Amino acid sequence: MEYIDRCFVVTGAAGFIGSELIRYLNTCGYKNIIAVDSLGNGDKFLNLCDLQINRYFEKEEFLSKIQEHALEAYNIAGIFHLGACSSTTEKDVHYLVENNYRYSQKIAQWAMRRNIRFIYASSAATYGDGEQGYNDQTQPDMLRPLNGYGFSKNLFDSWIYANNLQDQVVGVKFFNVYGAHEEHKGSMRSFINKLFYTVMNNISREHSLDYILTRLQKLAPETTSELGLDDNLYNQFVASAKDRLNHLKIEIFQSDVADIADGEQKRDFVYIKDIVQRLEAVMSEEYVFLRSKGLLNMGTGEARSFNELVQIVCRTLFLPCNIHYIEVPLALQGKYQYYTQAHMSKAEGMLDLMEGKHTKGYFKPIMLEEGIRDYIYTYLLPKYHANATMNTKGAIKQYVDLITPKSYLSK
């Protein structure tokens, strides 16, 4: 049987990373996929509608199938266990432990007894305030997470290591992931997604879009290249329009740390297209799995500030950048990470290992500017236009056509 014809399980299948992983697996030829999730009453099911899967189980149903030995006929080759409560503000720690720790234990034990490859989602939240650094070689019992979510994830990592199971599994520590199909996460979706909708909703009101279109249409004939990529014309536009568009305010958190300026809090932002490609490689390539076993950071290895991020998004949208700083909400004070940056030596070692072999760039990260451009031009703007009201649809279409580089139109 060809490897891609074998059966794989994806838990959290309707979630952000889970659904994008299945979408990528489908493009690679994988069709024999068991999807597991807890769909509830929301619209998360929409993430599954265009995917090719073999079976769907609710998470408790899947656990019952395991306990009843009812999955043997599927000949499961691997499990991507991505399902979890990922809310960093969830206060019910009992729920987090039951969902993220005990449920994971049961699936892991079942998989390892059957020699089924097991890849699971840990989190960069396990690193807490970073006092011990962000190295995936650090023992879990050395870490001090800042919230219940990070605690529950570190609890499972600690159980893996305490029972000497780390050579049989890969626990992936996702950093700040952004990309398509994250909208259902609500307040937990990426800051890039929130920022895009804030900016676009603002320019769609108060006749701002009409003004922007008039200015862009005057600029467009002046360039022999593409408007969206022309830095000189962007700078001209910002200089002439920033006063007229001063009401388009973007709010980000102040800093309450003495040696960190407002907006200079930093994160390792990693694009979803990076993540799914790496996950597939860890599952399918024996030498990659062997080098990855234990805990594996999935970031870019470069921390970028929120000030930089806002500037990149505004530049991509061809709009002025007008930042206002607000206080960190009381609920996040003392639990807010001011800096994260993945230590990537383990992943970088795999690049050396793959020299002379076929390579798909598994561990060469997509950097922030490139990732944001791809996300906005190929997903967010087309979706925003598709969902626009009849009153704004035509203007939004003109705006999208003017600023989107032609190289992104066919993606």
86 — phi, psi (to 5°)?
A: -105, 15
Q: Is 356 exposed, middle or buried (0-12, 13-18, 19+ CB in 10 A)?
A: exposed
- Residue 149 designated active-site: yes
Catalytic residue among 31, 185, 364, 397: 185
SS3 label, residue 51? coil
Of 368, 140, 172, 154, which is closest to residue 281 (Cα–Cα)? Answer: 172
Write the single-letter amino acid at 192.
I
Sheet holding 7-11, edge to edge: 55-58, 33-37, 7-11, 76-81, 117-121, 169-174, 294-298
**Residues 297, 123: Cα–Cα separation, whole Å:** 9
CA distances from 261 to 199, 253, 255, 256 (A): 23, 10, 6, 9
Taking the C-alpha atoms of residue 121 and residue 239, their distance in angstroms, rounded to an integer, is 45
Torsion-angle region of residue 155: left (phi > 0), alpha (psi -120 to 50) or beta? alpha
The answer to whether residues 245 and 213 touch, using CB atoms and an 8 Å cutoff, is: no
Q: Where are the alpha helices (DSSP H) in 268-324?
A: 272-284, 286-292, 306-316
Distance from C-alpha of 241 to C-alpha of 138, rounded to nearest angstrom: 50
Contact predicate 96/151, CB 8 Å = yes
Asked about 74 being catalytic, the answer comes back as no
Closest C-alpha to 145, from 108, 179, 107, 173: 173
Nearest Cα to Cα of residue 30 among 56, 58, 54:
54
Name the catalytic one among 101, 127, 149, 375: 149
Catalytic positions, written as ranges: 149, 185
